[in-house]
Amino acid sequence: MNLHLNLILESEKRSGASIRVWFLVRLVLILVPAVLLLYSAYLAYQMITLRKETDHFRELIAARQEQMTLSAQIAKQKKTYEDMLSQIHDWAASRLPVADRLDAFRLTVPLDIQLTSLRLTRTIRYTNSMPVAIYALQIRGKTRGEESELTVDQFLTRLRQTPGLASDLESAQVPPGAFLQDREPGAHPLDRVFLLECLFKPLGRTTP
């Protein structure tokens, strides 16, 4: 119990808080709309600028339509030529100089051997989407004598060692069962036939 009789008017009272809530509320009430207004104005300005730029670029595009069409045609032509060039490069890289190889091959054949067939095959494989050529040489021949097997081995050895040929060869061999007696009618008992398979190293580009 006390005899407190307050005579102060509400208008004379103030908040004792160091930061007055009413001040903060007023600040927010002013600041938030002001920020929104500024942001809206900024967005409007951006929109107008973008619209102007868009119109400007549309005009530029319309004015240069002919050049752009020509440019597209030229680019297409260029692409065609580049594809062609690439194919020529692929062909060049995968080409085996057959004449030179056959010339070298000629010197390796012993005098006791008669070649009956010579078959060169070319197979294309793709590595990293690039064409690679694999050449295979199939040689059939005949020989006579007690030492005909030795003669064929000598032929094989020469193939593997002849400069200009050996470096391109990946393998050269007489497959098992490919050295046989000649069964042709009228053949001499010492006549032998053989098959010799040469595989060349792959030719071509492996990277674009």
Partner 1 sequence: MFDLIQTWIRKLDRAPRDVVGIDFGSSNIKCARLRRQNQTLILESAAFLPPFQMPADPDPAYIPPPLSLPRSLLAPYCALIVPSELAVLKILTFPGEFSTETEGQIVSHMGLDKPDEYRINYKVIQYGTPRSESRVLAVAYPDRFAAVVPRLFPSGPPAPFSLEIAGLASLSALMSLPDGGFGAGVVGSLEIETHSSVFAVFHRGLLVLIRKFNFGIDSLVSAIRQGLDVSPQIAYNLLSTGSIDVSQWTAGMVQPFVKQLLVSRDFVERRENATLGRLFVCGAGARIALIRKEIQQAFDMELREWNPLDGLTLSPHALSEEVQGQEGRLAAAVGAARAVLEGSS
Whichever of 21 and 111 has its CB closer to partner 1, that residue is 21
> Binding mask 1-40 vs partner 1 (x if CB under 8 A, - otherwise)?
xxxxxxxxx--xxxxxxx--xx--x---------------
CB atoms within 10 A of CB 143: 22
Least distance in angstroms from the C-beta of 3 to partner 1: 5
Judged by CB under 8 A, does residue 176 bind partner 1?
no
Least distance in angstroms from the C-beta of 10 to partner 1: 8
Residue for token pair 């006390």: 2
Least distance in angstroms from the C-beta of 38 to partner 1: 24
Kindly provide the b/e burial profile for residues 154-173, where b requires at least 16 CB atoms within 10 angstroms of the residue's own CB. ebbebbeebeebeebbeebe
Whichever of 28 and 98 has its CB closer to partner 1, that residue is 28
Whichever of 15 and 114 has its CB closer to partner 1, that residue is 15
Site for partner 1 in 79-98 (CB under 8 A): none
The dihedral of CA 51, 56, 61, 63: what is its sign?
positive
Least distance in angstroms from the C-beta of 41 to partner 1: 26
Of 136, 153, 144, which is closest to residue 193 (Cα–Cα)?
A: 144
CB atoms within 10 A of CB 190: 13
> Binding mask 91-130 vs partner 1 (x if CB under 8 A, - otherwise)?
----------------------------------------
Residue for token pair 């030229």: 74
d(CA 132, CA 206): 7
Least distance in angstroms from the C-beta of 28 to partner 1: 11
Whichever of 2 and 128 has its CB closer to partner 1, that residue is 2
Interacting residue ranges for partner 1, rule: CB under 8 A: 1-9, 12-18, 21-22, 25
